[in-house]
Each structure stands twice: as C-alpha cells, then as structure tokens.
C-alpha cells in the first residue's frame, strides 16, 4: 500500500450491505435477473438505474473535460486478432464469451473490457510523433465468464458476468510510460476524491500483475459492510508489449518505433455503486447523493 485517502465514516447504526439497501429501496433485483439470465447478473430499477447512468456520465465528463481524454463509442464485438493484440488470447481464453456466428470461420468475442478496442485503435498503424500522446475514454458493458472465481463473491454486484466500466487508454512514446501511468492513476483517483469515497492505492508485485503489464497500481475502495478495501481499478503500463502484437508504431528521426500503451479503469461502475451506496447510507436505509453527483441525479438529495 502506497497511500490512503478519505475518511472512513464511523456509523452509529448497524451497517447495511448494498444488497440490503437495494432490496429496501426496490432498486436492485436479483430474482428477476436470475429468471432472465442466471446468476451473476442484476436488474437495476428506477433511481438505482439512474444512479448507474449518472455515475457513467459523471466519470466521462470528468475524464473528457478535466483531463482531455477523447471519447470513443466502440464496437462490443471484436475478432480473434484484436483479442490477441491486447493479451486476452490465448492466455485468458477460458474467461471470454465467444459468439457463434452463422457462415463465418472468423472467431468473434464480446469484449471483456474497452481496453481491447481502444488500444487496438492503433493496430497496424504508423503514427506521426506529433500525434502522441493519444488518450481515449469509453463507457461500455464488459463481459466476463469469471472462470477462475468459482465460489467468490457469488452474492451481490461485486463480481458479475456483465458490468459497465469507464476505461482509460493511452497511446504514447514508450519513454514516457511511467510518467503517463502516474497521470492516469491521478485521473482515476479524482473520481473517488470528487465523490468523497475512502480508498487506498497499492503497487502490485510482478507476480500479481496482468500478463501484458510492466507496472500496475490498484485502487481499492472502502466497503463498510465487509470492513475492508476492494479493488475498483487497475492502472497498468504495458510498455511496447501490446504494440508489438498489434503492429502499432510511430515515426521518429531514427525510424519507426513501437508505441507504448497504458490502460486503466476510470472506474468500474458496479463496484463504484457498491462503495457509494454503502458509504453514503443513512440509518433509515436511504442513501445520500454526493454533492458533485446531484446534477446528474435530477438534483436529488437522497434515494
């Protein structure tokens, strides 16, 4: 752990989980989602559905207007080559949702994260040096089998097959990767600072990092019902690893070189909802809306 931020509230009443808060307010519906899709899905209703949408719009506006990211609305279905480029295939194939399409020999997958499509915007390209850095943001559904998480977080919204996430990606000169990683981390942290949610930042050891990463910070939010911090974002520098797989280069005075790529959650929406609901709960089961989010929630004070 390299830093902590925010004040953990001392509740003078019995803390409710996000599941209890959702059931009390009739906003989180797992019974219907099981009938529709099975386990690890959720139906959000009324103000809870609006809260999900509000968080997405708030995060997009922050990353675009405050930090200068370029918004992308990408495809949610990609081919095998694109998944290989960012490192999802072949190593993590068991965690991917593959689509069966008629009359096609080309494999197609639902995206597990917008990182896959945003990073591949530079695929098989030779960029001009003055085009860098390129910084992209997208809010998309993400689809994961969670194959390695059997028995973990089976209740609630912590670990689902389908969830929204706001993703940040940078395409840069690789010599600036570590500086850019610090910048990206600050962008993700700013969301939690604005919402006044307690969090900590952890620098991962090499054994805990993702397949493509050279350096990774995790951001973990305080979840009162569990009395512990839970991961809400990983911000990683991948150096030129993904660029070499994608064939993404830029022109320099010494010839063409591979770009550097970085990605980070800015943030995972479901887990942000959990943290917001639980940290802002009141004794009567209502949830206070943080001041920076009110304009996205029709100026509601509580739900």
Tens digits of residue pLDDT in 115-146? 999 999 999 999 999 999 999 999 999 999 98
Total domains in the chain come to: 1
- Going by C-beta distance under 8 Å and a sequence separation of 6 or more, which residues neighbour residue 91? 211
Q: Over the chain, what is the mean pLDDT?
A: 94
Closest CA relative to residue 20, chosen from 9, 30, 32, 33: 30
For residue 302, tell me if it sits in a domain.
no
From the list 24, 53, 159, 230, the catalytic residue is 159
Tell me which residue range forms the domain holding 9.
Answer: 3-297
From the list 135, 183, 245, 271, the catalytic residue is 271
For residue 253, tell me if it sits in a domain.
yes
231 flagged as catalytic: yes
- Does position 277 have pLDDT exceeding 70, yes or no? yes
From the list 40, 135, 144, 183, the catalytic residue is 144
CATH for 104? 3.30.930.10
24 flagged as catalytic: no
Q: Is 219 exposed, middle or buried (0-12, 13-18, 19+ CB in 10 A)?
A: buried
Q: What is this structure's pTM?
A: 0.94
From the list 234, 236, 237, 265, the catalytic residue is 234
For residue 303, tell me if it sits in a domain.
no
70 flagged as catalytic: no
Q: What is the mean pLDDT of residues 78-87?
A: 95
Q: Are 141 and 164 in contact (CB under 8 A)?
A: yes
For residue 159, tell me if it sits in a domain.
yes
For residue 212, tell me if it sits in a domain.
yes
Q: Are 173 and 124 in contact (CB under 8 A)?
A: no
For residue 104, tell me if it sits in a domain.
yes
230 flagged as catalytic: no
For residue 201, tell me if it sits in a domain.
yes
From the list 230, 231, 240, 257, the catalytic residue is 231
144 flagged as catalytic: yes
């Amino acid at each position: 752990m390299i830093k902590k931020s925010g004040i953990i509230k001392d509740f003078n009443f019995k803390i409710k989980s996000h599941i209890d808060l959702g059931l009390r307010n009739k906003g989180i519906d797992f019974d219907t989602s099981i009938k529709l899709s099975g386990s690890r899905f959720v139906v959000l209703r009324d103000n809870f559905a609006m809260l999900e949408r509000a968080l997405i719009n708030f995060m997009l506006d922050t990353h675009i207007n405050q930090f200068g990211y370029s918004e992308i609305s990408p495809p949610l279905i990609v081919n095998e080559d694109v998944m290989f480029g960012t490192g999802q295939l072949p190593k993590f194939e068991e965690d991917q949702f593959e689509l069966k399409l008629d009359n096609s020999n080309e494999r197609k997958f639902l995206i597990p994260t917008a990182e896959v499509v945003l990073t591949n915007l530079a695929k098989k390209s030779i960029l001009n040096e003055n085009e860098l850095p390129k910084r992209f943001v997208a809010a998309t559904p993400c689809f994961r089998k969670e194959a390695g998480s059997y028995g973990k977080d089976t209740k609630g919204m912590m670990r689902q097959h389908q969830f929204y996430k706001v993703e940040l990606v940078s395409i840069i000169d690789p010599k600036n990767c570590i500086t850019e990683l610090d910048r990206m981390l600050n962008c993700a942290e700013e969301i939690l600072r604005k919402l006044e949610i307690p969090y900590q930042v952890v620098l991962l050891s090499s054994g805990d990092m993702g397949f493509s990463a050279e350096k990774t910070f995790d951001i973990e939010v305080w979840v009162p019902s569990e009395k512990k911090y839970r991961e809400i974002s990983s911000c990683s520098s991948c150096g030129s690893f993904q660029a070499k797989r994608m064939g993404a280069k830029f022109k320099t005075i010494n010839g063409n070189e591979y770009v550097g790529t970085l990605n980070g959650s800015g943030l995972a929406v479901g887990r942000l909802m959990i943290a917001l609901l639980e940290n802002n709960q009141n004794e009567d089961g209502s949830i206070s809306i943080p001041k920076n989010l009110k304009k996205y929630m029709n100026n509601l004070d509580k739900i």
